[in-house]
Structures are given as C-alpha cells and as structure tokens.
Amino acid sequence: SNDDVKELADLRCSLTTMRAALRSWAKYVPPYLLKSLYRSGVEATVGFHENEVSIFFCDIDGFRDMCRGLHPKAVLDLLSSVHGEVSSAIEGLGGTLLEFIADE
C-alpha cells in the first residue's frame, strides 16, 4: 500500500540521516567510543560531571633530524606507527584518546 511505501521511504531517510550524523561525530570522537555510547542506549544530555582526567604529552626526540631526507610517505608511516602504539596503550588502560596535536 501507499502507507507502506511511505513508511519504508521514511525509514530509509532516517537511516541516511543517522549515518551522516555518525560520520560527523566520528571526526571528533573515537569510533570505539561512539559504538559504546550507541550500544548503551543512554541519551546524551547537557550537564556537568566532575571527573579526574589525565593529559599526556609526547614528543619524538630528534623528529626533524630523523625525517630529514625521508619521503613524505615514510614520515606518514612513522607517525601512523607512533599514533597506533600510543592509542593502543591508552585504550588498553581504559582511556580515550581525543586528539593528537602536532607542532607547527
């Protein structure tokens, strides 16, 4: 019936909108955290929650000299490796990595 077709079209539109929203959120929130929030079924609210946090600063000593003369892909591979190791360590301890900030 026409009602069934309209309902299916509405569902398709809703799914498309939800996927776009999740892709947008994934730019700012680690994917595993998004999945955890989604599975919890808890609705997000605006509010305040006091909590203890840790901030981790990491510097690759001699990075400029190390990368001098390297192909950009090799530099990217090095940074990707460091990012992966740091991310794994933080997540392994129950932490959440929100962002990496590089020197200018």
Using one digit for the tens of pLDDT, what is the confidence trace for 52-93? Answer: 888 888 888 888 898 999 999 999 999 999 989 998 999 899
Residue with the larger pLDDT of the pair 37 and 102? 37
What local confidence, expressed as pLDDT, does residue 69 receive?
Answer: 92
Q: Confirm whether pTM is higher than 0.85.
A: no
- Domain ranges (residues) in the chain: 1-47, 51-104
Q: Which ranges of 1-104 would DSSP assign to H, the alpha helix?
A: 2-26, 31-40, 63-67, 72-92
State how far the Cα of 100 lies from the Cα of 26, in Å rounded to an integer.
15
Decide if pLDDT at 104 tops 70: no
